[in-house]
Amino acid sequence: MNRIENLAVAAAMLLCSITAVGQDYQIEIAASGLDHPWSIAWLPDGRALVTERPGRLRVISDGELLEAPIQGLPDVFAASQGGLFEALPDDDFATNRLVYISFAHGTPEANATRVISARLEGMRLVDPKILFTATPPKDTPVHYGGRMAFLPDGTLLIGLGDGFDFREQAQRLDNHFGKIVRINTDGSVPEDNPFVDIENALPEIYSYGHRNIQGLLHDAETGMIWQHEHGPRGGDEINLIRAGENYGWPVATHGIDYSGAIVSPYETRPGMVDPLLVWTPSIAPSGMTLYRGGLFPQWTGDLFISALAGRHLRRVELVDGRPKEQEIMLAGRGERLRDVRTGPDGALYVLIDAEDGKVLRISPNQP
């Protein structure tokens, strides 16, 4: 990014105001009794799949959380931040019944993010296939990433973390730490990935220089790929992802280490892409949706980000692909928010990260 672009981004950050406005929506509990829910996604028949981090896949059907979880999940490494992450139905689920599942796999001494596919038959996953396992394995139970998103060509993006102790590896192309990878849904590597012909580079890599990716989506209307990631003490980022780009971590960052030490003296560097929006202090963004539902026309095209440390939902207005004003929502609840998605009914669904976690449904106030 050149100097003029840097100045434009800096100006946008300064102009990006934050408000907490009067509530023009209502909140209801769509489901409760969930153990640290991590993601939610809908099947064509209207049922919702909700992952629980300890390793269960639950179903909400006709407004009720079914007591029995879906069977057939692989063993997950459930420790600290590790566990079951996302369950993402195939775009052609009605025909092939495939679900893609990301999770922490392995042992305390050697664990990594893994993605499988499996067919959902009734309440059981069958015919599981390993599509991707991050390499090399690590001995830390944190910074896995785990979010996934489909692109229009049917390929799958997977966001990964730097394992916390391996941040320098985010700048290298011979490992998966701090990367977004792109694979075909059979686990093979697309021939047009940006590093397929680079010696010693892992061909799955799509972008690099990330810390811990917790939000990832493709907007079909604009073609943009939006991503957010955790900084350390500050420096949380929203980025627009482009193939082959370096997003800076840990060479360029707005955050400092938890010890108070400087991670890097640089907030921007030549050849590295600057974030479009930075949060300092950290809000720990943890999920994201770009709203194109029918219930809130005034929010069309805006990003919604759930926050763990910030304990709120944040609406980020987008104007010409750039963040502008922000609105803080749900702050009064004081709850850690793990994910936010747009439901097929146009409502917003928010996951509460707790041992007695919940799914909240946000819809317009009734007259």
CA 149 to chain centre: 9
Q: What does pTM read for this prediction?
A: 0.94
Q: Which domains does the chain have, with CATH numbers?
A: 3-364 (2.120.10.30)
User: Residue 350 in contact with residue 337, Cβ under 8 Å?
Assistant: yes
User: Residue 290 in contact with residue 301, Cβ under 8 Å?
Assistant: yes
> Rounded to whole angstroms, how far apart are CA atoms 202 and 132?
12
User: Residue 210 in contact with residue 170, Cβ under 8 Å?
Assistant: yes
The catalytic residues are: 143
Per-residue pLDDT of the chain (367 residues; tens, 9 = 90+): 443 344 334 434 433 555 544 578 999 999 999 999 999 999 999 999 999 999 999 999 999 999 999 999 999 999 999 999 999 999 999 999 999 999 999 999 999 999 999 999 999 999 999 999 999 999 999 999 999 999 999 999 999 999 999 999 999 999 999 999 999 999 999 999 999 999 999 999 999 999 999 999 999 999 999 999 999 999 999 999 999 999 999 999 999 999 988 999 999 999 999 999 999 999 999 999 999 999 999 999 999 999 999 999 999 999 999 999 999 999 999 999 999 999 999 999 999 999 999 999 999 998 7
